[in-house]
Amino acid sequence: MDARAGRTDSEHMTRAEFETRVPEGDDREREVCTRCGFIDYDNPKIVVGSVATWGDRVLLCRRAIDPRAGFWTLPAGYLEHGETPEEGARREAREEALADLSIRDLLAVYTVRRLGQVQLMYRATLRSPEIGAGPESAEVGLFAWDEIPRDAIAFPTVRWALAHFRRAEASAVWVPATNPEGESTRIEDMTPGT
């Protein structure tokens, strides 16, 4: 219910007429309803995922959907309302790889400005080596470090997470990583071979 307008969100949205302006007390342009003053905040989306292992092997999923269909990624996706980031990371692994995970700790927090994403990546352990392709995956696999198909990785943040995972595993104490210095997060740079 939109208390300011005295109507439900669905009623509000069907009658809303928005204009782009800086609302009073704000410092940036937003979409504001000209009828009731409702502000449609367009905030970053949270993506959750994991670098999950079975022994010395890393779980990867070959994407069956765009963007980047046919390329390899870590199990990850958008956080749903009502779940913790850890629950979301476990759900994404179940959905994409039919995998059951134990979350170990937070590996990294990445910001992809162009896409409006904040990505929370975890270190996780598979509870069983039993995996399979979910609806968004063409195939899944457990890869030894030197078998990872680095020339077919879907996104730069997957590369970053794998590199940060490798460093974290070699470290007695790990502080969650962030975007590597100088690395681009522009969508135009997220092309094959980057």
Q: What is the DSSP string of 89-121?
A: HHHHHHHHH---EEEEEEEEEEEEGGGTEEEEE
Q: Which fold has domain 9-40?
A: Ubiquitin Ligase Nedd4; Chain: W; (2.20.70)
Pairing of strands 101-112, 137-144: unpaired
Residue 111: which pLDDT band, with cuts at 50, 70 and 90?
A: very high
Domain 45-177 coded CATH 3.40.1710.10: no
| pLDDT of 33 over the 80 cut | yes
Mean pLDDT of 148-165: 97
pLDDT at 191: 38
Indicate the helix (H) or strand (E) that contains 178.
none
As a whole number of Å, the end-to-end CA separation of the chain is 45
Q: Average model confidence (pLDDT) for the chain?
A: 89
Mean pLDDT of 146-164: 97
3-state secondary structure of 144: strand
pLDDT at 183: 74
Contact call for residues 4 and 36 (beta carbons, < 8 A): yes
Instruction: Name which residue leads in pLDDT, 2 or 48.
Output: 48
pLDDT (tens digit, 9 = 90+) per residue, 116-125?
999 999 999 9
pLDDT at 27: 93
pLDDT at 110: 97
| pLDDT of 182 over the 70 cut | yes
pLDDT (tens digit, 9 = 90+) per residue, 35-93?
999 999 888 999 999 999 999 999 999 999 999 999 999 999 999 999 999 999 999 99
| pLDDT of 187 over the 70 cut | no
User: Which residues have C-beta within 8 Å of that of residue 37, sequence separation ≥ 6?
Assistant: 4, 5, 23
Mean pLDDT of 168-190: 79
| pLDDT of 19 over the 80 cut | yes
- Residue 105, both tokens: 């700790």
Instruction: Name which residue leads in pLDDT, 35 or 16.
Output: 35
Q: What angle do CA 81, 73, 164 make, to 5 degrees?
A: 90
| pLDDT of 95 over the 90 cut | yes
pLDDT at 1: 44
Contact call for residues 142 and 58 (beta carbons, < 8 A): yes
3-state secondary structure of 120: strand
Can you give the residue ranges of every domain in the chain? 9-40, 45-177
Backbone φ, ψ for residue 59 (5° rounding)? -80, 125
| pLDDT of 96 over the 70 cut | yes
